[in-house]
Structures are given as C-alpha cells and as structure tokens.
Structure 1
C-alpha cells in the first residue's frame, strides 16, 4: 500500500465524503475514488459503508485507518528527522485551537516565530475544544491550544499529553470611553445595568459564567448571543455594551487602547484552564518543539 492511497483513504474517512476529501486535498475526486477502489481490490474487502449521512468506515476500514495513521506518522517522522539535519531552515507545524486563541495571541506568536525562522510553515485549524483534543489524539495536528475545564476527557487523557497548563480569568471588555472602563473591578451584579454580549452556552466560557451567575441568583439576559467571539467586538465598540471573555483574546486591541478590559469578580472562580496539548507517544518535529517555547512565553506574558 502506497502512502498516497492511505492519505486519500484517511481523508475520506475523516470527512465522510469523496467530494469533501477532494476539496480538502485539492485532488480530483476521480483520483481519490480510484485509490479507494484499488485499496479495496488489494485487500479484497469493502472499506466504506454508504449511508445517508455519508461514507462511514466499515470494520475493515477502521482497522486500516489505525494502520494508516501509524504508517503516515512513521513516514512523517523520517522526513522530519531528515529536515532537522538542516536546523530550523525548513519545517511544518500543524495546530488546532479554539477561537479565543486564534483571534490574537496565536497569530501573533506565529508572526514573531516566522520573523526569526521564515522557512517554517504553519497550518491552523479553529475548532471547538473537544474537536481540538480529538485532532491531537488522532495525530491529525502536532499541537492543540485550547481552553478546558480540567484534564482532557476520559479516553483522550491516555493518548494526549499536556505540554503547558495555566489558568486565565474572565474580564469584561468595553469601548475605551465606556462609563465602567476606569473601574478596578466589576462584580457580576454590575453587568445588569448595561447591554451584554456573550458567546453561546456550549462554550467553556459561557458554562463557567452561567454557573457563577446561578451561584449568586442572578438572571443575566444578553442582548447579543453569538457562536463566534469576533461577532461581539462590533457590538462593544458601537454601543455602551460589555462582552465577557479572556483578555488573551484581545491582547493587541487592549495594548493599542482600542478596547478596555475590567477584571470580573464573583463568589465562584471565573477562570478556565489553558492547555497546550500534543499526542502522548508522538515525537514532535524540531520546528514544533521550538515553536512551543515561543507559544508558552506568549501565553505566560498574556496572563
């Protein structure tokens, strides 16, 4: 079995569709279909079951997927070790992160690293926290950067290693001329007097915030709820509103005076874990190991 056919097979298994795999790989769908057919002929079995929701790996396909991931990781490792002979002149770092890191901190860390090591390329995927950890566990990315509530979920902890961990508190973000912008601290009850923008209830931030409000018997009704943090910023800039988030998500606007951040206090702790994750048994490429140093320094400086 050739690595190309295994790579095409895994793309179909991951996306559930030859068409989506074609878009992701930028390869003709006919070429992918042909490679799948060749694998099925070589192994004399059906690798996918066609279902209404897409193509799902058969039991034989699931077994091949485990073998394919291990084979491709081995091939990548050999290529990495060869490239490492050249130092940091070349390399490729694959990262998955939650949106709070993708808005500011992580792109800035990548830019700073690129200025010193311009031969290193990056691929960044923005996903939900559980998806970030899954991509790390399956070896689809080198690093995962995510907010979390405690350790990785059961099952993932056996294959995911946490390289860096800290906690970050929530702040109320406002326009710089907001009446509360000069306050040293805000309490949850202070938020009720102003329009509030929050992320949706399926996020770690919202779960912590809602639990703290419940503890204090507060019913908070946001004016704007969005499933993307970026959607909250125009509301804050254009109104007397407040948004609740981590200051790590807006380090550059805060530094430039475009937004203001006021610390929040509550009976419960208003913080979440930050984790930089990798696959437990994976030997990270040289470029990844070097970038982790940049990233953790940026995280520490932003806390």
Structure 2
C-alpha cells in the first residue's frame, strides 16, 4: 500500500503547516517530500498547498483532498481491525478526546480493564473541551469523545448520556462537612476554587451560578484539578466540580464531596459520542460498549 504512505506525507504537511517540519517528523528530506506533493498536485491537476514565506496552507482543493485522505485512512483502519479481529489477534488502536475530570481515574481504570482482556490494543487520550473534542472527531484525530454538556452539532452522534450533579468539595474539617447536601447560597460565605474557562464544566457552573441571586467570590481559577484540590485541602475554600470527577480518590485525600441540592437545578450531562455516520473499528466499538455500560452503572452509584 505504497500510495497510503504518500497520503500520509500530504496529511503530515497539512498538520504541520511546514514542509521542513513535516519532513523531520516523517524522517525524509524536505526536497523528497516536496517532490511527492508535486506528484500529487500533478495527478490532481490542482495545487494542494499555497506556498507562503511562513510555510504552507491548504488550498480549497487541498481541503477537499485532506478530508478524503482522513476518511479513507479511517476506513482502512476499520478494515484492518476487522481482519485482525477475525484472526483472533485483537489488535487495534483507540483514540479518545475527553474532559480533564475523566483523565484522573475514570478513563485510566477503564483502559486498564479493557487491556486486561485485549492486551494488544493501544490507546491515545487527549484532554479537550467539547468544542476541541468534536473538531478532533471531524479531523479523524479521535475515534470517541467523552465530554460534559456538548453543544448540539450536526457531526456529533451521541452513543450514551448520563446525568451528572454538581458537587461541592472541601476539606474534611470544613464547616459545611456537617451537611448532607449543600445549597449554592451556603457557598457564598466561603471563597470558591474553580476550573478555568477552558473547560466545559466551568461554563456549566457559570450558567448555574448565574441563576442564583447571590454573589460568589472566585478566589482561585486554574486549569489544574490537582492544584485546585490541594488549595481547597489547605483552606476553607470550596471547589465545585461535576459529580464523576468529584468522587474520584476522595477517601484518602482529606477532602469531602457533597451534592448540590436538587432545588438549585445544578445538573449537567456526561456524553459519549462519535463522528456521525462513521463505522467504528472493532476495538473502538468494543471499548465504546464498555464505557457505555460503565456510564449506565453511574446512574445508581452512591454519593460519598
């Protein structure tokens, strides 16, 4: 399948936006890569790239070609996985775009469980918000997306969705620890520690907080959940987080999680999805089934 290698050359140049950088990644010379691209352009009768002083940029024809190359690569991956599945090797790869809260414990545990049965399957996971996750699906850079509260999109096909409550996290000695559920107005007496606006969960929280007539003091924002938890552990600050991520690794952390009272309508959705209309490779489909089953179990998980 030598022609597949040529498509990979074109795709890498498109991703890098530079012939030189793409050649370095492909371990060939820039002149050799340039010749391969020129051969493709001659066959098509159209330029694939616009040559700029800063690098290369896809032309309209190039955009169409890249979409075709990536869709064909995905179809080839699917065919290979079916052939390998028939042979009993169970090889394959699974690429996931996920929310950060799922990267701490949930996703590693599910990958570990899957690899115990299919040890030859390899995984790639990238933390992303829902917009970035859908872009990764469209560009065939991810097979599955597992994100909170994705916006409706024509290219996104939900496979499983489960409701998630908003949780308050604080140190075990915090005054709020005596309560079984927390009203949002209870949190106004304490500073808040929140994930920054790069996370979809933050946007969910902002819409919920905006519906409450009281004001909140956001003392710390960060793109690191570990930093936020360590800060909350040391202070009387309250961290707000979606349920699944909030309940991970709490018993030995010196932290407590309490659900926000249902009267405050503090809910969101965890959604597993794929690119609409795409036939998933065997390994990806099997892993998606496992994740969907686990999400279904979350409906009945007890609250800490």
TM-score by length of 2: 0.86
Q: CA deviation at 1:223?
A: 1.0
| Distance in 2 (alpha carbons) for counterparts of 1:8 and 1:175 | 52
TM-score by length of 1: 0.86
> What does residue 152 of structure 1 align with?
152
Structure 1 segment 175-190 matched on structure 2, within 5 A: 175-190=171-186
Residue deviations 1:30-89, cap 9 Å, x none? 365453344234434322224587632101101211221232123222211211113463
Residue 283 (structure 2) aligned to one of 284, 287, 290: 287
Q: CA deviation at 1:105?
A: 0.9
Where does structure 1 lack aligned partners over 5 or more consecutive residues?
none
> What does residue 70 of structure 2 align with?
69
Structure 1 residues 56 and 107: CA distance shift in structure 2, 3 A: same
> What does residue 226 of structure 1 align with?
222
Where does structure 2 lack aligned partners over 5 or more consecutive residues?
300-304
| Distance in 1 (alpha carbons) for counterparts of 2:105 and 2:27 | 32
User: Secondary structure of 1:65's partner?
Assistant: helix
Structure 1 residues 252 and 2: CA distance shift in structure 2, 3 A: same
Structure 1 segment 249-268 matched on structure 2, within 5 A: 249-256=245-252, 258-265=254-261, 268=264
> What does residue 212 of structure 1 align with?
208
> What does residue 10 of structure 1 align with?
11
> What does residue 98 of structure 1 align with?
99
> What does residue 199 of structure 2 align with?
203
**Aligned-pair RMSD on alpha carbons?**
2.6
Q: CA deviation at 1:285?
A: 1.8
- Is 1:196–1:243's contact at 8 Å kept on the other side of the alignment? yes
Structure 1 residues 229 and 19: CA distance shift in structure 2, 3 A: farther
Q: CA deviation at 1:231?
A: 3.0
User: Secondary structure of 1:7's partner?
Assistant: helix
- Is 1:89–1:119's contact at 8 Å kept on the other side of the alignment? yes
Structure 1 segment 134-153 matched on structure 2, within 5 A: 134-149=135-150, 152-153=152-153
